[in-house]
Amino acid sequence: MNALPACWTQAYPDTLSAELINRLATYHALRGGRRGQEIAELIRDGKLLEVVRYPIHEYIKEEGWDLLQLIHCRQALGFYQKNSALKLPGIDPEQAALETWLGAEARCKSTNEFFLSLSGMCQFSDSSMYDRYLKGLVAQQPRVNPTPHFVHLLEGVRALIKSVLGRAPKVCDIKPRFGPGATRTIKRNMATPQNKLAETPTCSYNLYASGLLPQIFEALPHWSYEHISSSTTSIDIEKIDGEEYFSVEVESFVDVRLISGRIQFVLKNALTKRSMESQPTLDSAFQLGIGDEMTVRMGRAGIDITDQDPNRSWARVGSLTDSVVTLDLSSASDLIAYQLVKALLPTDWFTLLNAGRTGSTEVKIDGKKKTIILEKFSAMGNGFTFPLETLIFWAVAIHSSRSSERCGSVSVFGDDIIVHRDAADETVRNLELLGFLVNTKKSYFSGPFRESCGRDYYRGTSVRPYYQKRVVTAMELFQLHNFYVRNNELGEPDGTLSGIVLDYIHPDLRKFGPDGYGDGHLLSHRWEAKKTRAMRRSGYGGVLFTTFKVAGVGHVSIYPGDYVTPLYNVYVAESGEPPHQSYKDQVWFDPTDGSYNEFDCGWAYQVHGKPPISYKIGGNVSVSLFPNETEFTNSGRPIWEGAGPTDPVDAPYEEVEVYTFAHNAPSYSWLL
């Protein structure tokens, strides 16, 4: 065996990685019955492209699988099918992703043309006019004659969405905020609130045309004050009862750069990448504020997009009872066409979301950057795309389930859709009528298998494999080792599979500890517990163990003082903890630098005095402007904790000690 890397995040040599993966995959395949023998033969022959394309999702629908054989087959394939580090002959993952993205744009264009062909659709200014139009569609004889079923579908889905959203909020009631991801001009590894606040604000053409920028800046006055480029002062003198009164008005201008979005392709699997759109900074903050408002209103209606467990529970029930189906959509968010959203959302909500969307994006085609006017409404990377797609799919599923009176079996999380089997055909039909594509190969209508939100069940038992998604590192092997331990070695004798993995981990990195504290250490029933004399004297009942973690990245403040960032922290805390959005296979990306169109433009609004440098909430209750753990340089500049590295390979890491009350440690190390 080649020398093992002694660094936790160092990439293993290709030969060593292939040796380990092929060894484990073959071990599993040989225990997978007839299908496993086929997989093992492909691995031995080096036909990895056929391994990646092996149609296990079709065979899994078959009855009569031995459970352990199925688990071993899926684990053998799990080392290859989502492994973005594999280099396969004749496969260009980025080109494949671009073709998928362009295909989705073409389908959205067809959907848009269909809706536009419905006579007079774009002429209505309010929802009541549009509702009256829908009711008279069949009699009007438009250029495209919609069926009564289609009219009923639009009416029903639109009414459901309206009942959930209610009236659109005022801009002053939306709380713009920053997420942890990259923007159009700031890379992921520099994506701190401080850096986003420090750069010259950027926005899309849509947000500029909406006229909402002054209201957004008024919600964040300290931010806008930092970017004032010029001010004008006017003095009015007015006589009242012989007395002269002076009125002073200060008008300030903030420079904003006008740019488009940018399509990036990020790692997904060995065959293709995933498209994401980076947003201008102002748009990203506004989009997240809108998304938070939608999330709250959807939660009140029982649509909880912060919790994947309902979908997972339904998937397990479906695998046991065959009562519900799980539907998989192809390019779900990329097929939400602009005119579809206009048709389904109340007018006030459409106007708000349209102001926040990025209507044009830059994409590289044949090596050349092109700016494209989008046919889709929004893509992943937009802060309200996830709640928007969930709401649309939920409304379609509920409407489709009403005829069979099966609405109680509907559960939707993003593009993971679960409906009762009696409503499945109607749901698929309606989704396709609205321009979406149901992937029937990975949708499960009957049989003992169901999958949803990262959980796979065969007759109620989890058969989800460990997926090797990137190059092998010791950090990845820690996760694999712990996967085997947590899953009882997948039916093999104790220590068999985890022992193979352990052989490929450098002895200096073998830190053991209890479960429940992540994968920075190796799980074991035998681990070294540490206890200092100070802990003993103070009566501490717990112990310490050692684990690894990827180190955070500190960013020194760009400008002296830096009072804007702590005030932003107070603003976020005051407005309440924003709802957490859990994205399936969520991926953060790192936009590369590039040229973009830049225009000088300014928006004027009133500045009522200089922003304060102190902040209080509730009278005399003061709020700390800096987190307690904030560090400072010798010159007094704060060091802000930023996001970790985009790619964990070769990332800095640290060894830390964790305090626990776990009592299964066999022995203690008494430390000074």
What is the band of 609 on the pLDDT scale with cuts at 50, 70, 90? Answer: very low
User: Mean pLDDT over residues 457-480, rounded?
Assistant: 95
Distance in angstroms (rounded) separating the CA atoms of residues 124 and 481:
60
Greater model confidence, 634 or 439: 439
Greater model confidence, 54 or 567: 54
Give residue 642's pLDDT.
59
Give residue 125's pLDDT.
43
Is the pLDDT assigned to residue 581 strictly greater than 70?
no
Give residue 24's pLDDT.
97
Is the pLDDT assigned to residue 496 strictly greater than 50?
yes
| pLDDT (tens digit per residue) in 384-401 | 999 999 999 999 999 999
Q: Is 479 exposed, middle or buried (0-12, 13-18, 19+ CB in 10 A)?
A: middle
Mean residue pLDDT of the chain comes to: 82
Decide: 605 and 218 in contact? Cβ < 8 Å.
Answer: yes
Nearest to 272, CA basis, from 465, 446, 423, 83 = 83
What is the band of 560 on the pLDDT scale with cuts at 50, 70, 90? Answer: low
* Least confident among 391-405, 446-460, 513-527, 588-602: 588-602
What's CA 117's distance to the chain center, in Å? 34
What is the band of 403 on the pLDDT scale with cuts at 50, 70, 90? Answer: confident
User: Mean pLDDT over residues 346-370, rounded?
Assistant: 94
| pLDDT (tens digit per residue) in 273-318 | 999 999 999 999 999 999 999 999 999 999 999 999 999 999 999 9
Give residue 532's pLDDT.
85
Distances (CA, A) of 629 to 196, 224, 366: 21, 27, 48
| pLDDT (tens digit per residue) in 167-176 | 999 998 999 9
For 136, the token pair is 């008279």
Give residue 348's pLDDT.
96
For the ranges 84-88, 140-144, 231-235, the maximum mean pLDDT occurs at: 84-88
Distances (CA, A) of 247 to 51, 206, 244, 268: 77, 36, 10, 61
Can you give the length of the chain in residues? 672
Is the pLDDT assigned to residue 405 strictly greater than 80?
no
User: Mean pLDDT over residues 30-50, rounded?
Assistant: 96
| pLDDT (tens digit per residue) in 252-274 | 778 889 999 999 998 899 999 99
Distances (CA, A) of 390 to 101, 280, 472, 488, 587: 20, 24, 35, 36, 18
Name the percent of the chain lying above pLDDT 90: 58
For the ranges 231-235, 241-245, 432-436, 597-601, the maximum mean pLDDT occurs at: 432-436
User: Mean pLDDT over residues 219-243, rounded?
Assistant: 74
Beta carbons within 8 Å of 435's beta carbon, 6+ residues apart: 107, 108, 110, 111, 114, 335, 337, 340
For the ranges 222-226, 398-402, 658-662, the maximum mean pLDDT occurs at: 398-402
| pLDDT (tens digit per residue) in 424-444 | 999 999 999 999 999 988 999
Q: Please list, residue by residue across 515-550, b when 16 or more beta carbons sit within 10 angstroms of its beta carbon and e when fewer do.
A: eeeebbbbbbeebbbbbbeebeeeeeeebbbbbbbb
Residue with tokens 């679960």: 418
Greater model confidence, 69 or 672: 69
Is the pLDDT assigned to residue 65 strictly greater than 80?
yes
Give residue 414's pLDDT.
94
